[in-house]
Amino acid sequence: MTDDLAATATASPVAAGPDGATRRELVRSTVAAGAAAAVASVVPSLGPSTALAAPVGDIAVLALALRAEQVIVYAYERVLASGIVASPAARVLTLFLAQEHEHVDALTVNLVRLGGAVPSPPSDLAEFEVELRELGVKRSPVGLRNERESVSFLVRLEMAVATVYHFVIDQLADDKLIQTAAQIMANEGQHAAVLHELVSPGNVRRAVPSAFVGGVK
Amino acid sequence: MVSRGSRRAFLRTAGVGLAGSSSLLITACGGGSAVTKKLADEESITLATRASDIEILNDVLDLEHAAVAAYTAGIPLLSGHAQDAGAQFLGQELSHVKALTGAVTGAGGKPNRPRARYDLGNPRGQAEVLAMLDATEEALVDIYLDAIPKLSPGWLRAAVASILANEAQHISVLRAARGLAPAPSAFLTVNE
């Protein structure tokens, strides 16, 4: 991770992270591919008319990535706590949860260095489900009946988060942050492939179905 | 005109299409005028930037050609699930080549062609072929991680990152086939 990002804080057009009231709006807009305007709509210094011409600001973009990571952490924790998933799959999920925590930590450190406000993670199931829908994941973790359904749910969420990073990498200005986001996006892609393998062992066409991960189709 | 042509060419073949990005902008501001504005912004990219992007894209294209050669040579020495994976990944590497070639051409550059021959060592048997393919993928990851921040338009960085993530998936499958942890690090690095 970078040690000199604080120097870029003053260059950011965003003075502070968006407040909680705009969180759902942000995530929804990202997945709906209207994210640039949506982020700008919650950033006072950028009006919608300028959003398409200017970067939305590294602080707002990092906050968006952090929110997605918070959602996926909540999802892994909930699935693991349910007891539905047994070993060896549970060991894989535990490792991936730890890696998602590392993503959260890295994004938090950089967001704070830039002077941004760290968003709050989902506080309860209802808020989590709203966030899921806004990421484009329609399935709720409530009612997952078995290991296959639980892991498939996480695969969908991993791909949704990869799509968020596709937008994040498009919008970030700082080179080191871009590289870090790319490293994380690649890791999310790995998670999706490995989880797919748990659901459909030996079916590489399902595990790695596309030559391009996370783009808006 | 730098990015319009390259963007169309790249994204058309990448399947992350201009249509998708255009609808992104139309959704964002409710009309086609935003698309026009976005494209106008891309017009302002300097010639120096274009030359730099072409050079970077050609560098990664060189390695993608090498990956195609590695899979083409290695697949006959694989069997079962590993061979299926190799065939799947070869198809995806060819998609990357096509997309990158389109991007270079669209930016007004001349895409690098594959070499007449590649030194792939002398892998014997499945284990050595998998190791060779894994090393090839790691070299790709190395060059993509270096290249992505240097590319100028954000959409191009993102599109190339979507290739990087696919290479990372290849590494996971190859590592699993070698009996190694498929995703050992939260941050993809070449040292995995």
Residue pLDDT, tens place only, A131-146: 999 899 988 888 899 9
Tell me whether residues A178 and B34 touch, CB distance under 8 A. Answer: no
Cβ-based contacts of B161 with chain A (< 8 Å): 165-166, 169, 181-182, 185-186, 214
pLDDT grade for B22, boundaries at 50, 70 and 90: very low
Q: Is residue B98 part of a domain?
A: yes
Question: Quick check: B154 and A55 CB within 8 A?
Answer: yes
Best of A170, A174, A184, A203 to substitute, by most chain B Cβ atoms within 10 angstroms, is: A170
* A51, two tokens: 């959003």
> Looking at CA atoms only, how far is residue B65 from chain A in angstroms?
15
Q: Give me chain A's average pLDDT, please.
A: 79
Give the CATH number of the domain where residue B67 resides: 1.20.1260.10
Do the domain assignments include residue B142? yes
User: What are A37-69's pLDDT values in tens digits?
Assistant: 333 332 322 223 333 334 469 999 999 999 999
CATH of the domain at A93: 1.20.1260.10
Task: Give the residue from A200, A213, A217 with the most B CB atoms within 10 Å of its CB, the best one to mutate.
Answer: A213
Q: Is residue B186 part of a domain?
A: no
For residue B46, what pLDDT is reported? 52
- Is pLDDT of A3 > 50? no
Structure tokens at A52: 């398409």
- Is the distance from CB of B37 to CB of B47 less than 8 angstroms? no
Our count of domains for chain A comes to: 1
Query: With contact defined as beta carbons under 8 Å apart, do A57 and A111 qualify?
Result: no
Predicted confidence (pLDDT) at residue B4 exceeds the cutoff of 60: no
- What's the average model confidence in pLDDT over B21-41? 30
pLDDT at B191 over 60: no
- Nearest chain A residue to B29, by CA: A37
- For residues B6-28, average pLDDT: 35
- The whole-angstrom separation of Cα B175 and Cα A86 is 23
The answer to whether residue A100 scores a pLDDT higher than 70 is yes
How many CB atoms sit inside 10 A of residue A27's CB? Answer: 25
Record: contact B154-A169, CB cut-off 8 A? yes
Residues of B in Cβ contact (< 8 Å) with A29: 28
- Chain B residue with Cα closest to A189: B165
Q: B62 vs B28, B55, B65, CA distance in Å?
A: 37, 11, 5
Q: Is residue A216 part of a domain?
A: no
Instruction: Give, in order, the Cα–Cα distances in Å from A176 to each of A116, B50, B154.
Output: 17, 21, 14
Chain B residues with CB-CB distance to A170 below 8 A? 154-155, 157-158
Residue written as token pair 């991770």: A1
Distant-in-sequence, close-in-space partners of B186: CB < 8 Å, separation ≥ 6:
A98, A99, A100, A102, A103, A184, A187
A56: tokens are 């939305």
**ipTM for the complex shown:** 0.79
Mean pLDDT of A30-41: 37
The type of residue at B18 is L
What CA–CA distance (Å, rounded) separates A77 from A65?
18
Is B186 close to A102, i.e. CB distance below 8 A? yes
Q: What's the pLDDT score for residue A35? A: 38
Binary contact (A186, B185; C-beta < 8 A): no
Q: Is residue A6 part of a domain?
A: no
Q: Is residue B190 part of a domain?
A: no
Cross-chain residue pair A52–B28, CB shorter than 8 Å: yes
Give the nearest chain A residue to B192 (CA atoms): A187
Chain A interface, best mutation among B12, B13, B22, B24, by max A CB count within 10 A: B24
> Token pair of B2, please?
């730098």
A193 within some domain = yes
The confidence score (pLDDT) of residue B51 equals 87
CB atoms B162 and A53 under 8 Å: no
Owning domain of residue A135: 16-207
Domains of chain B: total = 1
Three-class secondary structure of residue B35 per DSSP: helix
Read off the pLDDT of each residue in B154-161 and give the average, rounded to a whole number.
95
The pLDDT value recorded for residue A138 is 86
Sorting pLDDT into bands at 50, 70 and 90, what band is A215?
Answer: low
Handedness of CA B100, B102, B105, B111 (dihedral sign): positive
For residue B190, what pLDDT band results from cuts at 50, 70 and 90? low
SS3 letters for chain A?
Answer: CCCCHHHHHHHCCCCCCCCHHHHHHHHHHHHCCCHHHHHHHCCCCCCHHHHCCCCCCHHHHHHHHHHHHHHHHHHHHHHHHHCCCCCCHHHHHHHHHHHHHHHHHHHHHHHHHCCCCCCCCCCCHHHHHHHHHHCCCCCCCCCCCCHHHHHHHHHHHHHHHHHHHHHHHHHCCCHHHHHHHHHHHHHHHHHHHHHHHHHCCCCHHHHCCCCCCCCCC
Residue with tokens 């060819």: B94
Mean pLDDT of A61-79: 96
Q: Chain B contacts of A189, Cβ < 8 Å?
A: 165-166, 168-169
In total, the C-beta contacts within 8 angstroms joining chain A to chain B are 191
Residue A11 lies in a domain: no
With beta carbons under 8 A apart, name residues in chain A contacting B171. Answer: 190
pLDDT tops 90 at residue B100: yes
CA distance A204 to A128: 31
- Distance in Å, alpha carbon of B101 to nearest chain A alpha carbon: 15
The residue ranking higher by pLDDT, A86 or A37, is: A86
Q: State pLDDT tens for residues A187-206.
A: 999 999 999 999 999 999 99
Contacts of A187 (CB under 8 A, 6+ apart): A99, A103, B168, B183, B185, B186, B187, B188
Task: Mean pLDDT check: name the lowest of A18-32, A80-94, A106-120.
Answer: A18-32
Q: Which domain, by its residues, includes B96?
A: 4-177
Region A73-86 average pLDDT: 95
The mean predicted confidence, pLDDT, of chain B is: 80
Q: What pLDDT sits at residue B123?
A: 94
Cα–Cα distance, A167 to B28 (Å, whole number): 13
CA distance B79 to B82: 6
Residues 4-63 in B contacting A (C-alpha not used; CB under 8 Å): 14-17, 20-21, 23-25, 27-29, 34, 37-38, 41
Residue B82, domain member (yes or no): yes
